[in-house]
Chain A
Amino acid sequence: MEGSILFSVRLSLQVAAVSTALIVLAGIPVAYFLARKDFRGKELIDVLFTLPLVLPPTVTGYYLIILFGRNGFIGRVIYEWTGWSIMFTWYAAVLASFIVALPLMIKTTRAAIESVDRNLINASYTLGHSEFNTALKVILPLAKRGIVAGTVLSFARAMGEFGATLMLAGNLPGRTDTMPIAIYSLAGSGEWSQAHLMVMLMTAMSGVFLYIANRYTKRII
């Protein structure tokens, strides 16, 4: 049974790491556009990206099934082309964590980018630097603390993802049982000593992540 705990810890870290990497890649550009550009429907997009933060994870999971399930809008196309479905694989856990944790990254990064002094950005433009170069050399470095805080928060949230993951990836021992899901199973079958251990592990890890995130956010303001 020790082996299955180890598996869950490793799977959780793996899912959180991969989804956080994707969150950083997708979240920074989205946050940049929301912070720096004015376009129609901007606040609508913000709401759309933020919804998974407040919706019950089961609702988010439901939408993801509609989109990526074997008969879903996107899932069907993938299944017809490749015969593969993301459902009940660890990739599904990544997808669920990605969607649920992305808003934390976008919110934190957007606020950090918006707080960069406008004059510094204008100075970069008058010195002949393109918008892309200015984003890379001035805006993102100055928003670094917010970006790091958002990344750590997203990682912690991805580690703790349960509801949408359960709906999308299921509870397959040795395949998709991340720590939160394993805890749910262990408690359900009355294996308390193992559940205790995992709960304590989960709490300690999340606490450390929050501590790190706080240290970074404090210094932004």
Chain B
Amino acid sequence: MGLDVKLQKKVNGFVLDIEWQIGNELAVLFGFSGAGKSMTLQLIAGLMKADQGQISLDDVIYFDSSAGTNFPPQERPFGYVFQDLALFPHMTVLQNILYGAVNLPKNEKLERAHGMIRAFKLTGFKERYPHEISGGQKQRVAFARALIRRPKMLLLDEPFSALDRPLRLEMRQFLREVRDNFSIPTILVTHDVEEAFAISDKIIVYEHGKITQIGSPERVKSSPANIYVARLVACDDREDERGESQNEGEP
């Protein structure tokens, strides 16, 4: 059970060659920009096609190059939250969320959407357009839209990177709650060290299109696999200290 990923892809001289498994947990794909993390997410979602490999979730095979299996993104039941959130600017909050509830009877769509709006504290904003709400509210709309059709997995491509620090901490808490409530495998791409160690059950460290280390955050922190990972961990400690002191300054 869980997600099994084995992928190879060459793009303009960059080679992605990875293999990993996760269970029903929150896994972080972690590494510097350009290591292949976002590309992995797009391959899993079916927005890009791998040269070789397999993708399966709970024994359903969504991609298998040797068998010629390749589900289009529409037929992969995964929720995806984009880095820029990709809210539809011409739709209201409610319309954006409803748009995620495809292939459902109309009254159930509305019922679920209003449930989402209540749960994600968007009551009173449902008739607003994306440019009329705050950054944190936009995040919650993007999550609601991705979750309304009850996906089997959640893919998050650095959704918090544009937020300022207090809001980022709030969204981390929010993400943990979402993860606990929906209880589906969740993959978060980030190059924010602190974020990676603060919320993950498992860290998958990327380095130039390859996996350097997979393990619990404690494990990765206490025994980094190589100098590259060690440097990231060291980074993390400095970040943490800065983070703590900033935290104390806040009310």
Contact = CB atoms under 8 A, between A and B. Distances in A.
A122 B47 CA distance: 7
Contact of B74 (A119, A120, A125, A137): A125
B45 interface: yes
A210 interface: no
A128 B103 contact: yes
Interface in B75-131: 75-80, 82, 84, 86, 88-90, 99-100, 102-103
Given A119-B86, A122-B82, A141-B90, A128 B47 contact: no
Contacts of A117: 86
B9 interface: no
Interface residues of A, number: 16
B224 interface: no
Q: Name the residue among A119, A120, A125, A128 with the largest chain B CB count within 10 angstroms.
A: A128
Interface string A113-127: 000010110111111
Contacts of A137: 99
A214 interface: no
A130 interface: yes
A129 B102 CA distance: 7
Given A125-B47, A137-B99, A130 B74 contact: yes
B73 interface: yes
A126 B73 CA distance: 5
B72 interface: yes
Given A119-B86, A122-B82, A129 B47 contact: no
B181 to A, nearest CB: 20
Given A125-B74, A128-B100, 6 more contacts: A119-B84, A122-B73, A122-B86, A127-B100, A129-B74, A142-B90
For the complex of A and B, 3 pairs with smallest distance between CB atoms: A123-B86, A126-B80, A128-B102
Interface of B: 45-47, 72-80, 82, 84, 86, 88-90, 99-100, 102-103, 145-146, 149
21 contacts: A117-B86, A119-B82, A119-B84, A120-B88, A122-B82, A122-B86, A123-B80, A124-B88, A124-B99, A125-B72, A125-B73, A126-B45, A126-B74, A126-B76, A126-B146, A127-B145, A128-B75, A129-B74, A129-B99, A129-B102, A137-B99
